[in-house]
Chains A and B, each alone.
Chain A
Amino acid sequence: MKLYMEAKELISDNIRDYGMYIALIVIFITFSILTDGLFMSSRNLSNLLDSAGYIAVLAVGVMLVIVIRHIDLSIGFLAGFLGAIAAILLMQVGLSVYLVIPIILILGIIAGLATGFLVAKVGIPAFVATLAGWLIYRGALLLVTERTGTIIVQDDKFNAIGNGFIPSLMQVNGLHVLTLLVGALGILFYIYGAVSNRRNKMKYSFDVVSKQLFLLQLVFVSAIIAYITWILAGYNGFSWTVIVMLIVLLVYHFFTTKTVLGRHIYAVGSNPEAAHLSGINVSKITFLVFGSMGMLSALSGILFTARLQSATTTAGTLFELDAIAAAYVGGVSAAGGVGKVTGAIIGAVVMASLTNGMNLMGVGIAPQYIIRGSVLALAVIFDVTTRKRGK
């Protein structure tokens, strides 16, 4: 009983952090019931995560842009344009995939730094600078694809990024062994992190939850990771897209929470004047964040092109708005200084789940837009009202 009270208090105190996870679980359960379990089938879950991938990486980037109080509208068509360049380099120039990927990522970084230059050095509002980028990259995409139309990519290694799965090593009872291993590693990693974090906090007599509740948390999160791994292992295992997403998650989570530069990003976001007076180079941070945004746009373009196995003339349309919506669902604050990498990824998965679930149910495209818009509004209303309560 005491444990229940503590759990209740913990959740209500941290409702902003947990709200998203609770929403995701509610969405999953609702769709599972409405589709007679089809939603949680191995095949569908795998498909869902793959379809979230190219938006999720954009959402991580744009989350950081919003944290430093800017916005980037150009990322959708930048992704589309760089995806087309990748297709051209592969099919028309004939470069190897191992060369194309770094080239595209570097091009993305350069494009991002150019935006950063306009915003940080010239002082153009990010909205206008990136609106210009939106037009320019859209035009550039049409320019490179207008002669050939859709460019079909026939490179198996490249296409695997969007459609392929990690090798299985061996099959045991139809289960994907490497996926199980990765999942198990993930659980161990999580438990190790949580335990050492708790030990540290206790060392400095910070507030920690009771031992029982802590164990319950560990079991709960581990069970969820194990369950998802188990479901995916029953189909083809982890896809390369999921692996890319996990790598982005880990790298950016570490970068934002454990490095000096990451801390500086949040400082600039929460008070740019104070950051400047604290010796932080605000324009350097702006360059960094837009550079990372450009790189993630390139990554998104690679994921999307590989998934479609082709570069189309309209690739990237509205990606920027989907990514911004995902970031807001994930709890980023428009006032700056607040936002989490995990939040952005979960936000992207939430939005992808809605699309996927409603498609399974055969909901028309018109109500889908309305429902997704309402969920976005609800998420931000929830965020604003819980923030007002203090904490």
Chain B
Amino acid sequence: MSEYILEMHQITKEFTGVKALSNVNFKVEKGEIHCLIGENGAGKSTLMKVLSGVYPYGKYKGDIVFNGSIQQFNKINDSVDAGIAIIYQELALFPDLAVYENIFIGNEVENRGVLDWNQTIIESQKMLDKVNLKVNPETLIKDLGVGKQQLIEIAKALSKEVKLLILDEPTAALNEDDSENLLRLLRELKSQGITCIMISHKLKEVISIADKATVLRDGETICTLDASKGEINESIIIKNMVGREINAIYPKRENKIFGDKILELTNWCAYDAQLGRQVSKDVNLHVKQGEIIGLAGLMGSGRTELALSIFGNPKSYKLQGDLKLHGKSRQFKHTSEAMKAGIAYVTEDRKGDGLFLIQDIKSNISVANMKGISSNGIINVNEEIIVGEKYRKSMGIKASSLEQVVGNLSGGNQQKVSLGKWLFVNPNLLILDEPTRGIDVGAKFEIYTVMNKLISDGMSIIMISSELGEILGMSDRVYVMAKSEIKGVLTSEEASQEKIMQLATQ
């Protein structure tokens, strides 16, 4: 029986109004690879943020025991000093700095207060050897691929004499070769005695690498599975992750009737001059009236960029190809023109570029359609309240009043405000970008129900999603994207997790 390197006891973390974690227990033995799995919003990232000191001691309830003593991390550096390194999904590298500078950033090699660059380069070479990466330490980060960047993040962690390495979906943006490479490295690190926690959505990976796996659901620990007892297999994991049959999650839609083509893209290309790369390549796609189109693919496959290029092109990509709306070729100069033509886009990042967090619910709902509540440019306050009240009821937004500030609502309610805002615009093509990211199962169900209602009212929906379950459960047809291209289209009968993943990782 080996000892535990990490024990988290009864961890509870609340955000205004929502319990993100409730009495979570999580134990990791020394020298194992422990996977943390669960649906989006299950609380995995929150738990890791508690562990790494992003949420300081006192902002959560419960104890963290690391290396045998209770820890009180007040800031991220405290956990780093204790030997915990966390590598996030979004890499924290500086693209314009060289590899060696990145590896030792915040941990500089110095000689009486003066940086010793030669020594830094020598040390960084050692770290690169440890992760089996053959690049010149003086290469700039932006000149490396994502897979290599990921390895550099790990090298950076190793330079700090890490005891516990945490990886948050490390392979989400990697292709199969790079993923394999990374997993091999993790096994090697394990043989050197480094403990590893890996958050992952990819069950195959989990099955191939995990010694143990803990499943979280809705902020609670469901179970810890042990590979040596043969408990880590797909059916057991899925059963524990989902906790219910898939039919109960995705409401059924009756009488599917599809009409004419609403939107049709032919050889659609978009070029991002700022990044200097093609973000959409020769996309051919159509949406019929009454259809829910699933747009699947990995992170960074170009789904959001495609949506933005349709929705008035706010990032000013250079566009080529033909966009037909209701059979007529159109070009939009501004998002407002796309809106006038009946397109709405609910953003993936509702806090970043979706909502006005410091404003109240009613102004968030009315903002995209001020014409609807004003005459001659003067706002009719009563009308605004009536509209707000209507969407509060129909969306089921839970709030003390319409004057509540949106920043204080839970993720699910914020998403409903976002949806309400766009329904008030009354579009006939609704583009939903990750509509249920980071919200709980109950709110998800409500949002799916709203989507079905909209379809039966004659709307069409393009749904971008990274959750395969959602794609399979809701879509009538699925387009799969990878590397800014459409790699294939599947009908709902043809579509399966395997087929989609196969296309997405091409």
Q: A273-B352, A276-B314, A281-B336 are in contact. Are A337 and B358 (CB under 8 A)?
A: yes
Assess whether B335 is in contact with A267, with CB atoms less than 8 Å apart.
no
Query: Which of these, A203, A206, A264, A276, contacts B403 with CB under 8 Å?
Result: A206
Assess whether B358 is in contact with A278, with CB atoms less than 8 Å apart.
no
Asked if A36 is at the interface (CB within 8 A of a chain B CB), the reply is no
Query: Which of these, B334, B359, B379, B389, contacts A279 with CB under 8 Å?
Result: B334
Assess whether B336 is in contact with A260, with CB atoms less than 8 Å apart.
no
List, in ascending order, chain B residues with CB within 8 A of A203's CB. Answer: 382
Query: Which of these, A206, A260, A276, contacts B377 with CB under 8 Å?
Result: A260
List, in ascending order, chain B residues with CB within 8 A of A27's CB. Answer: none
Assess whether A204 is in contact with B336, with CB atoms less than 8 Å apart.
no
Interface residues of B in 123-144 (CB under 8 A from A): none
Q: A266-B359, A274-B356 are in contact. Are A280 and B378 (CB under 8 A)?
A: no
Assess whether B336 is in contact with A271, with CB atoms less than 8 Å apart.
no
Assess whether B401 is in contact with A206, with CB atoms less than 8 Å apart.
yes
Asked if A263 is at the interface (CB within 8 A of a chain B CB), the reply is yes
Query: Which of these, A207, A263, A273, A276, contacts B379 with CB under 8 Å?
Result: A263
Assess whether B377 is in contact with A277, with CB atoms less than 8 Å apart.
no
Assess whether B367 is in contact with A261, with CB atoms less than 8 Å apart.
no
A280 CA to B335 CA, complexed, in Å: 8
List, in ascending order, chain A residues with CB within 8 A of B203's CB. Answer: none
Assess whether A279 is in contact with B378, with CB atoms less than 8 Å apart.
no
Q: Pick the most buried of A270, A274, A338: most chain B CB atoms within 10 A of its CB.
A: A274
List, in ascending order, chain A residues with CB within 8 A of B359's CB. Answer: 266-267, 270, 337
Asked if A174 is at the interface (CB within 8 A of a chain B CB), the reply is no
Interface residues of B in 376-428 (CB under 8 A from A): 377-379, 381-382, 385, 389, 401-403, 408, 421, 425
Q: A258-B378, A276-B335, A281-B336 are in contact. Are A270 and B357 (CB under 8 A)?
A: yes
Q: A263-B370, A270-B358, A338-B358 are in contact. Are A277 and B381 (CB under 8 A)?
A: no
List, in ascending order, chain B residues with CB within 8 A of A390's CB. Answer: 408
Assess whether B356 is in contact with A207, with CB atoms less than 8 Å apart.
no
Assess whether B378 is in contact with A259, with CB atoms less than 8 Å apart.
yes
List, in ascending order, chain A residues with CB within 8 A of B367's CB. Answer: 263, 267, 275, 278, 280
Assess whether B378 is in contact with A267, with CB atoms less than 8 Å apart.
no
In whole Å, how far is B252's beta carbon from the nearest beta carbon of chain A? 32
Query: Residues 334-359 of chain B: 1 if any A CB is under 8 Å from the residue's CB, otherwise 0?
Result: 11101100000101000011111111
Assess whether A259 is in contact with B377, with CB atoms less than 8 Å apart.
yes
- Report whether over half of chain A's contact residues are helix, strand or loop; otherwise say mixed: helix
Q: A267-B367, A274-B353 are in contact. Are A204 and B334 (CB under 8 A)?
A: no
Assess whether B363 is in contact with A277, with CB atoms less than 8 Å apart.
no
Interface residues of B in 297-324 (CB under 8 A from A): 311-312, 314
Query: Residues 186-219 of chain A: 1 if any B CB is under 8 Å from the residue's CB, otherwise 0?
Result: 0000000000000010011011000000000000
Assess whether B356 is in contact with A270, with CB atoms less than 8 Å apart.
yes
Query: Which of these, A258, A264, A277, A337, contacts B335 with CB under 8 Å?
Result: A277
Assess whether B377 is in contact with A274, with CB atoms less than 8 Å apart.
no
Query: Which of these, B336, B355, B371, contacts A274 with CB under 8 Å?
Result: B355
> What residue in chain B is nearest A273 (Cβ atoms)?
B353
List, in ascending order, chain A residues with CB within 8 A of B352's CB. Answer: 273-274
Query: Which of these, B314, B339, B357, B382, contacts A200 with CB under 8 Å?
Result: B382
Asked if B191 is at the interface (CB within 8 A of a chain A CB), the reply is no
List, in ascending order, chain B residues with CB within 8 A of A267's CB. Answer: 356, 359, 363, 367
Q: Pick the most buried of B352, B358, B371, B382: most chain A CB atoms within 10 A of its CB.
A: B358
In whole Å, how far is B276's beta carbon from the nearest beta carbon of chain A? 18
Q: Pick the most buried of B367, B403, B425: most chain A CB atoms within 10 A of its CB.
A: B367
Assess whether A337 is in contact with B356, with CB atoms less than 8 Å apart.
yes
Asked if B374 is at the interface (CB within 8 A of a chain A CB), the reply is yes
A148 CA to B408 CA, complexed, in Å: 61
Query: Which of these, B355, B371, B421, contacts A271 with CB under 8 Å?
Result: B355
A260 CA to B377 CA, complexed, in Å: 5
Assess whether A271 is in contact with B379, with CB atoms less than 8 Å apart.
no
Query: Which of these, B353, B363, B389, contacts A204 with CB under 8 Å?
Result: B389
Asked if B265 is at the interface (CB within 8 A of a chain A CB), the reply is no
Query: Which of these, A207, A277, A279, contacts B354 with CB under 8 Å?
Result: A277
In whole Å, how far is B375's beta carbon from the nearest beta carbon of chain A? 10
Q: Pick the most buried of B355, B356, B401, B425: most chain A CB atoms within 10 A of its CB.
A: B356
A204 CA to B361 CA, complexed, in Å: 14
Query: Which of these, A206, A207, A280, contacts B336 with CB under 8 Å?
Result: A280
List, in ascending order, chain A residues with CB within 8 A of B377's CB. Answer: 259-261
Assess whether B381 is in contact with A278, with CB atoms less than 8 Å apart.
no
List, in ascending order, chain B residues with CB within 8 A of A206's CB. Answer: 401-403
A199 CA to B19 CA, complexed, in Å: 38
List, in ascending order, chain A residues with CB within 8 A of B421's CB. Answer: 278
List, in ascending order, chain A residues with CB within 8 A of B379's CB. Answer: 258-260, 263
List, in ascending order, chain B residues with CB within 8 A of A274's CB. Answer: 347, 352-356
A26 CA to B436 CA, complexed, in Å: 51
List, in ascending order, chain B residues with CB within 8 A of A200's CB. Answer: 381-382
List, in ascending order, chain B residues with CB within 8 A of A259's CB. Answer: 374, 377-379
> What residue in chain A is nearest B386 (Cβ atoms)?
A204
List, in ascending order, chain B residues with CB within 8 A of A279's CB. Answer: 312, 334-336, 338-339, 368, 425
A354 CA to B186 CA, complexed, in Å: 67
Q: A258-B378, A390-B408 are in contact. Are A263 and B363 (CB under 8 A)?
A: yes
Interface residues of A in 268-308 (CB under 8 A from B): 270-271, 273-281
> What residue in chain A is nearest B345 (Cβ atoms)?
A277
Counting from the closest, the 3 A-B pairs by CB-CB distance are A273-B353, A279-B336, A278-B368
B residues within 8 Å of A by Cβ?
Answer: 311-312, 314, 334-336, 338-339, 345, 347, 352-359, 363, 367-368, 370-371, 374, 377-379, 381-382, 385, 389, 401-403, 408, 421, 425
22 residue pairs of the A-B complex, CB under 8 angstroms, read A203-B382, A206-B402, A207-B401, A259-B377, A259-B378, A259-B379, A260-B371, A260-B374, A263-B363, A263-B370, A264-B370, A267-B359, A270-B359, A271-B353, A271-B357, A273-B353, A274-B354, A274-B355, A277-B314, A277-B345, A277-B354, A279-B339
Q: Given A260-B378, A267-B363, 6 more contacts at CB 8 Å?
A: A264-B370, A267-B359, A276-B314, A277-B314, A278-B367, A337-B359
A residues within 8 Å of B by Cβ?
Answer: 200, 203-204, 206-207, 258-261, 263-264, 266-267, 270-271, 273-281, 337-338, 390
